[in-house]
Amino acid sequence: MNPIFATPQTLRELAAAQKRGEARGIFSICSAHPAVLESALTALAPGQALLIEATCNQVNQFGGYTGMTPADFAAYIAQIATRCGVSPRRVLLGGDHLGPNPWRKQPAAAALENARQMVGGYVRAGFSKIHLDASMACAGDGQLAPEQIAARAAELCAAAEAAAGQVRPVYVVGTEVPPPGGAKGGETGLQVTRPADALAALELFRAAFLARGLDAAWERVIALVVQPGVEFGDAEIHAYDRPQAAALARAIESQPRIVYEAHSTDYQTRAALRALVEDHFAILKVGPGLTFAYREALFALARIEEEWLGPSGGLELANLPARAEATMLADPRDWADYYHGDPAAQAFARKYSLSDRIRYYWQREPLRGAVERLLANLSGRGELPLALLSQYLPLEYALVRAGRLENRPDALVRAHIQAVLADYAAACG
């Protein structure tokens, strides 16, 4: 295991604290965007560790949609951390939904072989938190029985253990509804996992691990992924309903060292996030909500560019929203299955959807160049007008007026993302 990153001891201590009755948590950054990562790293409090995760579709031995292998992603995170003045030893790396999902159209034997290789690569690259998720059916599988899912997860755990050095990873098991990739819109009435089903799933995983001789690895299972009734879609947010999840919250109290991991917590209020942590959902995953904040800040800066610099002429404006629309229309693969309705509804979603499928396009040309031009145009004219800051970025305007934030475009974007992170930091104690 790559020794430059934090060990999983922080996570084991977190689970132990929860079992002592302490409402402690950690949030997990599920994004590879450099602006998001820089915002999170520069906001770290003294002594705080940052958990950053990559998914099987995003990062794998064939590059995933980021083009990065696990070793590439680890090097990328280390580089950004160092640039931000943060030691990589304060960063925990996690692998999310590691399983056959990227190869589910292949027969199970081939898909699982790829998954075993991927999991081993994650562990060797320094990822110390491994979410094993073999819940997706492969070609020819039919409906998977819970026992099959658990057995495949144990098979992947064996590959992880074989790749580990002296420092062994911790594991997360189980999955939420919907599967990785996010809700496709229109979901209603999410069902909170029944307590009996959660406990039964844990027992199946335990039996599968022990059947493979993975007793020691089972002692490092720290969390179970369930559905607490928290999700978001294209335009809707399913808020945490604490009374509805109360029985599920109590159920995990009977399990030593194991807490819950909550996925898709984006857009929950600070109070809801805190309630989740108090209810033993000690690991809170967030991703699209952070890139949504990034998009908000950039679109606000685009309006400032238009209002402030547009009338003067002689300057090529970035026209960022138009460039974003053109880039997404030129390659609809990453939004077409998620945004529905007539052309007007789809156009609205491409800009403003909570699912934030635009996050897949920021690093592509010509959109990347448009972002750079926007920031350069605004940076080259001195401080942004306070009146326009108040109009389009009122939260950041207040910080600038208070002397707590520099009136620079890059600082404004970072502060807008950090406002979301502040809710998670407060919730996690």
307 & 277 share domain:
no
Identify the CA nearest to 43 among candidates 95, 78, 10, 90: 90
- The answer to whether the CB of 392 falls within 8 A of the CB of 300 is yes
Number of domains in the chain: 2
Tens digits of residue pLDDT in 112-157: 999 999 999 999 999 999 999 999 999 999 999 999 999 999 999 9
Q: In this structure, what CATH number is given to the domain that contains residue 59?
A: 3.20.20.70
Structure confidence at residue 312 (pLDDT): 82
Kindly give the pairing relationship between strand 281-286 and strand 259-262.
parallel
300 & 278 share domain:
no
Q: Which of 286, 303, 325 is the last residue of a domain?
A: 286
87 & 21 share domain:
yes
Q: Which residues form the domain of 311? A: 291-428
199 & 264 share domain:
yes
- The answer to whether the CB of 399 falls within 8 A of the CB of 405 is yes
Structure confidence at residue 190 (pLDDT): 84
The letter for the amino acid at 300 is A
Within-domain flag for 3? no
251 & 370 share domain:
no
Distance (Å, whole) CA 172 – CA 6: 17
The torsion angles phi and psi of 262, rounded to 5 degrees, stand at -105, 120
Structure confidence at residue 189 (pLDDT): 60
Residue ranges in the chain modelled with pLDDT below 50: 178-183, 185-187
181 & 307 share domain:
no
Q: Is 255 helix (H, G, I), strand (E, B) or coil?
A: coil
Percentages helix, strand, coil for the chain (3-state, rounded to 5) are 50, 10, 40
Structure confidence at residue 1 (pLDDT): 61
Within-domain flag for 1? no
332 & 244 share domain:
no
Q: Is 44 helix (H, G, I), strand (E, B) or coil?
A: coil
278 & 298 share domain:
no
29 & 72 share domain:
yes
391 & 301 share domain:
yes
Distance (Å, whole) CA 64 – CA 233: 24
Helices (H) and strands (E) in the chain, counts: 16, 10
Q: Which of 251, 269, 286 is the last residue of a domain?
A: 286
259 & 359 share domain:
no
Q: In this structure, what CATH number is given to the domain that contains residue 390?
A: 1.10.400.20
282 & 299 share domain:
no
Q: Which of 238, 255, 286 is the last residue of a domain?
A: 286
Within-domain flag for 2? no
Beta-strand ranges (E) seen in 59-188 are 91-98, 129-132, 170-174
Structure confidence at residue 68 (pLDDT): 98
